[in-house]
């Protein structure tokens, strides 16, 4: 159990790291939106995916996912195949152009991050990545559990 001051500082830091995200986005090729880069990276990491699963992995609504996937498909980076097991569903996979784009993105990220994070050890970076993943899990579990701390806090704080 942590102190209230820490919670407020966490909220501030989460807002602030958005600037880092925007900086990384500026490294991308002109027609590759940050959203496209994430979609492609997810498909590469997890293999053939359904829309709903991709939306879950990105923690955004499926309607938004659909737009991002349409964009990436129209640019020839992603392919949508019918799912033989369920004709409502579509399976996503990387095209050769998509794989090529990901190699380019990875090269840019690596060059930039190797420069900015010169004084970071593997351990420190690994710790940060691990804690970020854990934070997401804690929030995801919270949404899924019946207690629903996130949803209830709004009303309860007003009442109290």
Partner DNA sequence: TATTGTTATACTCTATAACTATA
Partner DNA sequence: TATAGTTATAGAGTATAACAATA
Site residues for DNA per CB under 7 A: 18, 22, 25, 33-36, 50-52, 58, 60-70, 80, 83, 86-90
What's the CA gap between 24 and 112, in Å, rounded?
8
114 binds, among DNA, a copy of itself, none (CB under 5 to 8 A by kind): a copy of itself
Nearer to a copy of itself, 66 or 89 (CB): 66
Give the nearer residue to a copy of itself in terms of CB position, either 86 or 100. 100
Q: Which of 62, 64, 57, 65 is nearest to 137 (CA)?
A: 57
Nearest approach, Cβ of residue 33 and DNA (Å): 4
Strand partners, 79: 93
**Which single residue is written with the structure tokens 């840019």?**
108
| Closest CB 70 distance from a copy of itself, rounded Å | 19
Pair 77, 43: CB distance under 8 Å: no
């Amino acid at each position: 159990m942590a102190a209230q001051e820490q919670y407020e500082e966490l909220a501030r830091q989460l807002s602030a790291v958005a600037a880092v995200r925007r900086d990384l986005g500026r490294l991308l090729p002109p027609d590759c939106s940050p959203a496209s880069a994430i979609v492609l990276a997810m498909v590469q990491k997890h293999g053939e995916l359904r829309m709903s699963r991709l939306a879950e992995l990105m923690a955004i609504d499926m309607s938004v996912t659909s737009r991002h996937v349409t964009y990436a498909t129209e640019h020839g980076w992603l392919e949508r195949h019918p799912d033989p097991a369920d004709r409502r569903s579509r399976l996503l996979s990387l095209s050769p152009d998509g794989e090529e784009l990901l190699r380019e993105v990875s090269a840019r990220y690596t060059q930039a991050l190797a420069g900015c994070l010169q004084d970071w050890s593997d351990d420190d970076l690994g710790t940060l990545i691990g804690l970020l993943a854990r934070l997401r899990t804690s929030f995801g579990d919270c949404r899924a559990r019946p207690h629903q701390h996130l949803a209830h806090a709004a009303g309860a704080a007003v009442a109290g």
